[in-house]
Amino acid sequence: MPKMKTKSGAKKRFKVTASGLVKAGQAGKRHGMIKRSNKFLRNARGTTTLSAPDAKIVKSYMPYNR
C-alpha cells in the first residue's frame, strides 16, 4: 500500500504533543483588535490545546503524527 499523505495546511498549523494533545494558535487575533477587550487579547496569546473532538479531526489529517 502507498503511504497516506499529510494535509499540507494541517502540518503548518498544528503540532501534536508527546502526550497526544494537539496544539494550535489562538483564534480571533488577525484583525479587529480595537473592538476586542484587553482581557480577550491577553487570554488569546500564544497557543492552546484543541478539544478532543477537534483534535480527532486534525489527527485524521496527519496520519503519521499520532
Ordered by where they begin, the domains of the chain are: 8-61 (4.10.410.60)
Alpha helices in 18-51 (DSSP H): 38-43
Helix, strand, coil tally for the chain in percent (to 5): 40, 15, 45
Give pLDDT tens digits for 24-59.
999 999 999 999 999 999 999 999 999 999 999 999
Q: Answer whether residue 1 shows pLDDT above 90.
A: no
Q: Answer whether residue 65 shows pLDDT above 90.
A: no
Cell of 47: 497557543
Instruction: With cut-offs at 50, 70 and 90, classify the pLDDT of residue 17.
Output: very high
Q: Answer whether residue 66 shows pLDDT above 80.
A: no
| pLDDT given at position 38 | 97
